[in-house]
Chain A
Amino acid sequence: MRNRRNHSIDKLVLDAAQKDIPALSRPFAALGAAIGVPEDEVLRVLKAYKKKGVIRRIGGSFETRRLGFSSTLAGMRVKPGRLAAVAREISKLPGVTHCYERAGDINLWFTLGLRGPMAEVNRKLAAFGRLPGVEKCYSFPVKKMFKIKTMFPI
């Protein structure tokens, strides 16, 4: 019973912390007050999830465009024998935050964000497109973002 209660408190705290940690002097007290959990309990739960690696980071989530950045999702078709080398080369750039090999005709997908106009992103992408083994290179910039959902441990 006690375990179940703890588990539901953990979920409640993780849910609230993934949505918004208030920008106040005592953010964790304020977050806890909204869900009926004391500040020290909120901190205990978050520290435990952080230690387990379930929480990757607790910090600011920024609107990249408002910081003067342009970004896109790029999809490439790369010859299988060259895929890892191309992926590693692309991943060296700090503006590439996600890079995955995926099943399908377009087999390498990555996000690319740079300070400046979209032309900068396109120029960098064109350079990546000239790496040996790259057969196709597409840019799929965002038209509309729907709500980013929170996730729970299973």
Chain B
Amino acid sequence: MTLEQSIVRALQGDIPLEPAPFRKIAAVLGLSEEKFLGVMDKLKRRGVLRCIRAIVSHRRAGYSANAMVAWKVPGIRALSFGKTASASPAVSHCYQRLTRPGWPYSLYTMVHGRSRAEILKVVAGLAKKTGAKEYKVLESLREFKKTSMVYY
């Protein structure tokens, strides 16, 4: 395993919540803190590492309902739709994806709320703001798996 790979492996889990977390992780790998921070910086500049951040559990944060909403949006309106949808505090993710024959929906938003009614209200608001009239609200009925990706 290369140095970069072992650093990705160390960062795909949790960093310790203490004043100098990277010094501690570096020590476990037998590296100096400077060396570790240097590789992290390189990974960031190359766009491999987006950032170090806290990932919030929507359910535990009080958002008991969620829906993936698939929107039919013409290509030229995708960018403005994405910007409008991303500005909504109830939307956690927004992606443009390929369409398929029989499935013309190209924009996807994850919408979170306390209830189904709250989600439908957010969706109606988004439809009004963006002018997108055709969409499917794909409510989650059962969660089979939710984890973070393990790379190495």
A residues lining the B interface (CB < 8 Å): 14, 17-29, 39, 43, 46-47, 49-50, 52-64, 66-67, 69, 73, 75, 84, 87-88, 90-91, 94-104, 106, 109-110, 113, 138-154
B54 nearest CB neighbor, chain A only: A17
Asked, given contacts A101-B141, A113-B149, A142-B96, whether A66 binds B47 with beta carbons under 8 Å apart, the answer is yes
B22 touches A25 (CB 8 A): yes
A21 interface neighbour in B8, B52, B83, Cβ under 8 Å: B52
B5 nearest CB neighbor, chain A only: A67
A54 touches B19 (CB 8 A): no
Nearest CB in chain B: distance from A91 CB, A: 4
A59 interface neighbour in B13, B46, B82, B86, Cβ under 8 Å: B13
B19 touches A43 (CB 8 A): yes
B20 interface neighbour in A26, A58, A95, Cβ under 8 Å: A26
Q: Chain B, interface size: which category?
A: 35 or more
B21 touches A61 (CB 8 A): no
Q: B71 in the interface, Cβ–Cβ < 8 Å?
A: no
Asked, given contacts A57-B13, A67-B48, A154-B114, whether A138 binds B103 with beta carbons under 8 Å apart, the answer is yes
A141 to B52, CA, bound (A): 25
B7 nearest CB neighbor, chain A only: A60
B19 interface neighbour in A28, A98, A152, Cβ under 8 Å: A28
Asked, given contacts A149-B86, A153-B62, whether A18 binds B17 with beta carbons under 8 Å apart, the answer is no
The interface residues of chain A lying within 8 Å CB-to-CB of B133 are none
B149 touches A24 (CB 8 A): no
A73 interface neighbour in B19, B108, B144, Cβ under 8 Å: B108
The interface residues of chain B lying within 8 Å CB-to-CB of A14 are 54, 56
Q: B123 in the interface, Cβ–Cβ < 8 Å?
A: no
Asked, given contacts A61-B51, A152-B89, whether A143 binds B140 with beta carbons under 8 Å apart, the answer is no
Most buried by A among B8, B82, B141: B141
A91 touches B140 (CB 8 A): no
Nearest CB in chain B: distance from A21 CB, A: 4
The interface residues of chain B lying within 8 Å CB-to-CB of A21 are 15, 51-54
A102 touches B138 (CB 8 A): yes
Asked, given contacts A27-B52, A147-B86, whether A138 binds B100 with beta carbons under 8 Å apart, the answer is yes
A59 to B54, CA, bound (A): 7
A88 to B11, CA, bound (A): 28
